[in-house]
Amino acid sequence: MAYQALYRTFRPATLSGLVRQEHIVKILVNQIETDRVGHAYLFCGPRGTGKTSTAKIFARAINCEHPVDGSPCGECGTCRALSDPANLDITEIDAASNNGVSEMRDLREKVQYPPVAARYKVYIVDEVHMLSDSAFNALLKTLEEPPKHAVFILATTEPQKLPATILSRCMRFDFKLIPQKDLEEHLKRILREIGKEYEEEAVSVIARAGAGSVRDMLSIADICVSYSRGTLTYADVNEVLGAADFDEIAKLSEAILTENVSDALTKTEQLLSSGKGVGVLTKDLLQCINYCSVAGSCRNANGILNLPAEMFAQISRIAAAADGRKILRAAEIFTGIEADLRYSLSPRIVFETALVKACLPAADLDELSIARRLDALEEKLRGGAVSASPAREARAPALEEAPFEEAPFDEPPPEPVAPPARRAAERVDALSPDKRKGAFGYFMRALRANAKNGVLFTMCQDLEPSFEGDTFVLTASNEVIYRSLCREAHHKSVAAALESIGITDFAIRCKSAREDRTDEDIERLKRNFSGTDIQEK
């Protein structure tokens, strides 16, 4: 007899043989035992979770003369008749290749004929979401009111593509992905049955690669069994899956998490030169980083990862030496390039760019990088490598004693304080006749350097400066600003700033209506009212 794939050889023949899906099995068994069989069922869920197998078992069970725990007995005349491939009472239709309206019209005509050897005539429509709109319309009426002997079982991986009119006429059952622990137990039973010895770690890797699908897991196991003539080992499975050597991937991960960009690029060159694809390398690296995340976060990490002892020790050492935020940032970076690698013309450049980005957080501006830099700065401050300047430390007590009159605004950082010689020159120049125009600028600079109140600095920006002899006059544009500047605290701050540039005689005034009038305005009035005698008082 020709060899048969594992997933076909070990396809379950009873509902109790299904891996998990207990919520579905219980409902179907109760319907069979109470003879409450519906006319239309919808089995939906991810691939390899037992939809088609359940449909075949259920189709035979509702026709069995003596069902056992809701499953076909396999011994009665009906069960033997249905096991014949030539029997037409159970019909499987592949909607992917029979998706036209003509096929559904043909089904609608044939469904009227009663079954030959069974109680029900069952139609299993696989991948039903592939039917065209016209085919759905042709099936709709038959699905709503079929003959008493007809049962429809629709199976799909994409129920969202089905019309609402179809969904509302079916009893829907959602199949779930199989947990890894159940996949491992199922695979171990199969390997024992075929007489294949195995390592626990090898079974764990195969089950994890199955990603919740029994069929995917058994397809991988089929290849691994053929690859290894002796005991199925962890190394054998990695070779079959095309994964890079664990030790090399662990070293690459360590180089990234320790920010050793030179070592990381060297390891990448070695792995790619050995024939590993960029996509496979990215997947392996992400898996190793995920291992580090689990090892650094969970107490029962080895129970979750189920790695060999020496491998888990290596992962634990890398995780212990790396900061949690580094691991998270590296995982986010390499997860983000998975989609880019599929469409990139230069996948190696995309990978190496991501690698350098992960190794150089100081060159990036994301939140994790900034947090990393702050941590480094705080560490330096704690170690005494960075300290405040002596001048700032000397000024600190005086600033702390100064009272706050109003909440300060955000203001630009003060300019560097000029050397003493320059400040002396500024005081002299500020009073010289040819430099008086710059007096207001010197004043604002001194106010910004010495005053703590940002509100005062903002108000002074709108003042109009002028000299009346040696008196420096600051004119406010309105009465509110004028009254605020005349307050004792603000007045002292203005006086201190002016004194620092050599001005001791000053006055603060408010612009009145009379001062607002300019010679230009008066001339305009005289032009507009030329016949009127206008006198300025």
Q: Is residue 396 part of a domain?
A: no
Q: Which two tokens stand for residue 520?
A: 């230009």
Are both 477 and 453 inside the same structural domain? yes
Lowest mean pLDDT: which of 213-227, 233-247, 249-263? 233-247
Instruction: Report the chain's mean pLDDT, rounded to a whole number.
Output: 82
Q: Given a cut of 60, is residue 51 above it in pLDDT?
A: yes
User: Which residue is listed with tokens 């989609």?
Assistant: 339
Q: Is residue 390 part of a domain?
A: no
Lowest mean pLDDT: which of 94-98, 275-279, 456-460? 456-460
- Among the candidates 241, 259, 290, a domain finishes at 241
Check if the beta carbon of residue 259 is closer than 8 Å to that of residue 361: yes
Q: Given a cut of 90, is residue 122 above it in pLDDT?
A: yes
Question: What pLDDT score does 156 carry?
Answer: 94
Q: What is the mean pLDDT of residues 309-320?
A: 88
- Residue 416 is classified by DSSP as P
Of residues 206 and 458, more confidence is placed in 206
Question: What pLDDT score does 524 carry?
Answer: 67
H helix or E strand, kind and range, residue 329: helix 324-336
pLDDT in tens, 349-378: 999 999 998 888 766 666 666 666 677 777
φ and ψ at 26, to 5 degrees? -60, -45
- Find the CATH number of the domain harbouring 313: 1.20.272.10
Are both 14 and 162 inside the same structural domain? yes
H helix or E strand, kind and range, residue 152: strand 150-156
pLDDT in tens, 56-84: 999 999 999 999 988 999 889 999 999 88
Question: What pLDDT score does 54 carry?
Answer: 95
Q: What is the mean pLDDT of residues 333-358?
A: 89
Q: Which two tokens stand for residue 325?
A: 């935020």
Are both 203 and 132 inside the same structural domain? no
pLDDT band at 130 (very low <50, low <70, confident <90, very high): very high
Q: What is the mean pLDDT of residues 409-414?
A: 44
SS3 200: helix
Of residues 428 and 42, more confidence is placed in 42
Question: What pLDDT score does 442 carry?
Answer: 82
Are both 78 and 109 inside the same structural domain? yes
Residue-wise over 278-307: b if at least 16 C-beta within 10 A, else e? beebbbbbbebbebbbbbbeeeebbeebbb
Are both 358 and 480 inside the same structural domain? no
Question: What pLDDT score does 29 carry?
Answer: 94
Q: Is residue 537 part of a domain?
A: no
Question: What pLDDT score does 306 carry?
Answer: 75
Q: What is the mean pLDDT of residues 198-216?
A: 90
For 226-247, the three-class secondary structure string (H helix, E strand, C coil) is HHCCCCECHHHHHHHHCCCCHH
Are both 128 and 203 inside the same structural domain? no
pLDDT band at 187 (very low <50, low <70, confident <90, very high): very high
Q: Domain tally for the chain?
A: 4
Which of 48, 51, 56 minimizes the C-alpha distance to 6? Answer: 48
Question: What pLDDT score does 385 carry?
Answer: 55
Question: What pLDDT score does 433 carry?
Answer: 61
pLDDT band at 198 (very low <50, low <70, confident <90, very high): very high
pLDDT in tens, 219-229: 999 999 999 88
Q: Given a cut of 80, is residue 458 above it in pLDDT?
A: no
Q: Is residue 380 part of a domain?
A: no
Are both 80 and 204 inside the same structural domain? no
- Find the CATH number of the domain harbouring 220: 1.10.8.60
Identify the domain containing residue 304 by its residue range.
Answer: 246-371
- Among the candidates 217, 241, 265, a domain finishes at 241
Return d(Cα 325, Cα 92) in angstroms, integer.
53
Are both 282 and 301 inside the same structural domain? yes
Return d(Cα 191, Cα 197) in angstroms, integer.
7
Range of 94-98, 191-195, 274-278, 328-332 with top mean pLDDT: 191-195
Check if the beta carbon of residue 487 is closer than 8 Å to that of residue 405: yes
- Find the CATH number of the domain harbouring 47: 3.40.50.300
Lowest mean pLDDT: which of 211-220, 244-253, 373-382, 459-468? 373-382
Q: What is the mean pLDDT of residues 522-528?
A: 68
Q: Is residue 433 part of a domain?
A: yes
Return d(Cα 218, Cα 19) in angstroms, integer.
13
Are both 366 and 437 inside the same structural domain? no
pTM given for the model: 0.59
Lowest mean pLDDT: which of 238-242, 275-279, 347-351, 360-364? 360-364
Check if the beta carbon of residue 82 is closer than 8 Å to that of residue 51: no
Q: Given a cut of 70, is residue 104 above it in pLDDT?
A: yes
Q: Is residue 404 part of a domain?
A: no
Check if the beta carbon of residue 199 is closer than 8 Å to that of residue 224: no
Q: Is residue 410 part of a domain?
A: no
Q: Is residue 267 part of a domain?
A: yes
φ and ψ at 451, to 5 degrees? -85, 145
Q: What is the mean pLDDT of residues 186-203?
A: 92
Q: What is the mean pLDDT of residues 10-29?
A: 91
The region, left, alpha or beta by phi > 0 then psi within -120 to 50, assigned to residue 388 is: beta
φ and ψ at 39, to 5 degrees? -100, -15
Are both 38 and 151 inside the same structural domain? yes
pLDDT band at 536 (very low <50, low <70, confident <90, very high): low
User: Which residue is listed with tokens 């939140």?
Assistant: 367
Question: What pLDDT score does 365 carry?
Answer: 61
Question: What pLDDT score does 422 carry?
Answer: 45
Are both 30 and 125 inside the same structural domain? yes
pLDDT in tens, 464-521: 888 887 788 888 877 778 887 888 888 888 888 888 888 888 888 887 544 444 565 6
Question: What pLDDT score does 353 carry?
Answer: 92
Return d(Cα 256, Cα 262) in angstroms, integer.
10
Are both 75 and 169 inside the same structural domain? yes
